[in-house]
């Protein structure tokens, strides 16, 4: 079985033959078909993970179950599944409190790291975040996979566990955008373009796309933004206030991947408004927010880690929205690659040359 291995900081990923182990209790083996490249995966190879190399990254993929381990109850051989960046064990404290997107098993793939295979030398191979889908096959935890139908192309289904889940989940689950409301999306790429589509579907009257890249701005317009703002063209916060009668937006979404984008989204929200951030910045990064806006301004902040909801509830719902054509992945999957070209795909994601690249396995 071939996989893309991260072997140490600064080294390009190497495609290696590794020996996958048998599935243990609650695990399945999946023949992977496609996997989306997310900046989170790139950041993991740059040190944003607790997992020691060598490891396989990739958290959002799709494939078919070929073996089920002991104790697997709801997944069968032949099931078409998708993976996500959250495990949702169902029994840990965050899960039973109704916040499964913060499941303890997110770190359960990191501390201790989850070993899934061995190299020819006998050295163990781990997976980042407990998943690892940049491989032809993978041993996955049943708690982190969701069975889907045959409705979608694999290249589109591969986005369900990442951009679709976090982007649409931000709108429908975390923020609960209401009909007629005003929305701003700061950063219109891999996640932000799903937020724009979700806001349109939720009936937002004003959808302001804030984005540097001209092509992404025009795509945001095609997918539902009513206004586009280029941050290079004057203060974007003032621009958003101008478009909302000086008040600010009801819902401000950050999908720009930087601390400044988070600060901008916070400043764009009206008093009493909701701010949803998705940024995966470096561990040491800090965000500075105006204290008065918390107190008197009563702004509320939440993240959209894995969409803030239940994988087994939300992924089938979002799959049906895609299958019905209510939202579209076609313009968002802007490049596909073979596993051998994964370093090209990572560079394109890092440099924002593509919106979402997909690896065909």
Q: Which residues bind Zn ion (CB under 5 A)?
A: 38, 40, 89, 92, 95, 103, 162
Q: How far is the CB of 234 from Zn ion (least distance, A)?
A: 31
Q: Choose between 100 and 224: whose C-beta lies nearer to Zn ion.
A: 100
Q: Which is nearer to Zn ion, 92 or 323 (CB)?
A: 92
The nearest distance, CB 311 to Zn ion, in angstroms, is 11
Question: Taking a C-beta distance cutoff of 8 angstroms, is the pair 116, 132 a contact?
Answer: yes
**Nearer CB in complex with Zn ion: 20/160:** 160
Q: How far apart are CA 116 and CA 113, in angstroms?
A: 10
CB of 38 to Zn ion, least distance (A): 3
Q: Which one, 33 or 105, has the nearer CB to Zn ion? A: 105
Q: How many helices (H) and strands (E) does the chain have?
A: 12, 19
The least distance separating Zn ion from the CB of residue 355, rounded to whole angstroms, comes to 13
| 37-61 burial: b if 16+ Cβ within 10 Å, else e | bbbbbbbbbeebbebebbbbbbbbb
Residue pair 208/184 in contact by the 8 Å Cβ criterion: yes
Q: What is the DSSP letter of 136?
A: S
Question: How does DSSP assign 297-355, residue by residue?
Answer: S--EEEE-GGGGS-HHHHHHHHHHHHHHTSS--TTTEEEEEEGGGHHHHHHHHHTT-SS
Closer to Zn ion by CB, 89 or 315: give it.
89
Closest CA to 194 of 226, 230, 170: 170
CA distance 222 to 207: 12
- Nearest approach in angstroms of CB 131 to Zn ion is 10
Is 136 in contact with 303 (CB distance < 8 Å)?
A: no
Q: Which is nearer to Zn ion, 89 or 175 (CB)?
A: 89
Min separation Cβ 84 and Zn ion, Å? 8
């Amino acid at each position: 079985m071939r996989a893309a291995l991260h072997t140490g900081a600064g080294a390009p990923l190497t495609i290696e033959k590794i020996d996958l182990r048998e599935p243990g209790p609650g695990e399945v083996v999946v023949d992977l078909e496609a996997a989306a490249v997310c900046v989170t995966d790139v950041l993991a190879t740059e040190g944003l993970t607790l997992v020691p190399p060598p490891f396989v990254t990739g958290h959002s993929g799709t494939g078919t179950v070929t073996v089920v381990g002991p104790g697997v109850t709801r997944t069968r051989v032949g099931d078409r599944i998708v993976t996500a960046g959250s495990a949702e064990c169902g029994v840990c404290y965050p899960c039973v409190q109704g916040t499964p997107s913060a499941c303890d098993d997110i770190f359960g793939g990191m501390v201790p790291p989850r070993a899934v295979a061995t190299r020819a030398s006998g050295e163990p191979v781990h997976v980042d975040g407990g998943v690892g889908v940049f491989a032809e096959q993978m041993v996955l935890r049943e708690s982190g996979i969701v069975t889907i139908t045959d409705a979608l192309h694999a290249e589109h289904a591969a986005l369900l566990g990442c951009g679709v889940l976090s982007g649409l989940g931000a709108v429908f689950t975390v923020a609960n955008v209401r009909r007629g409301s005003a929305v701003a999306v700061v950063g219109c790429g891999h996640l932000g373009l799903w937020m724009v589509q979700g806001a349109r579907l939720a009936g937002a009257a004003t959808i302001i796309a804030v984005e540097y890249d001209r092509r992404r701005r025009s795509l945001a317009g095609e997918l539902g933004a009513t206004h586009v703002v280029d941050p290079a063209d004057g203060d974007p916060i003032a621009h958003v206030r101008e478009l909302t009668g000086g008040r600010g937006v009801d819902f401000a979404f950050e999908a720009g991947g930087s601390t400044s984008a988070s600060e901008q989204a916070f400043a764009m929200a009206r008093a009493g408004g909701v701010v949803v951030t998705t940024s995966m910045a470096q561990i040491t990064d800090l965000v500075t927010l105006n204290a008065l806006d918390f107190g008197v301004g009563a702004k509320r902040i939440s993240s959209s880690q894995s969409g803030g909801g239940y994988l087994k509830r939300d992924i089938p719902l979002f799959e049906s929205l895609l299958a019905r054509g209510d939202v579209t992945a076609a313009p968002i999957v802007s490049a596909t690659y073979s596993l051998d070209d994964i370093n090209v795909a990572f560079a394109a994601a890092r440099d924002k040359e593509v919106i979402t690249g997909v690896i065909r396995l």
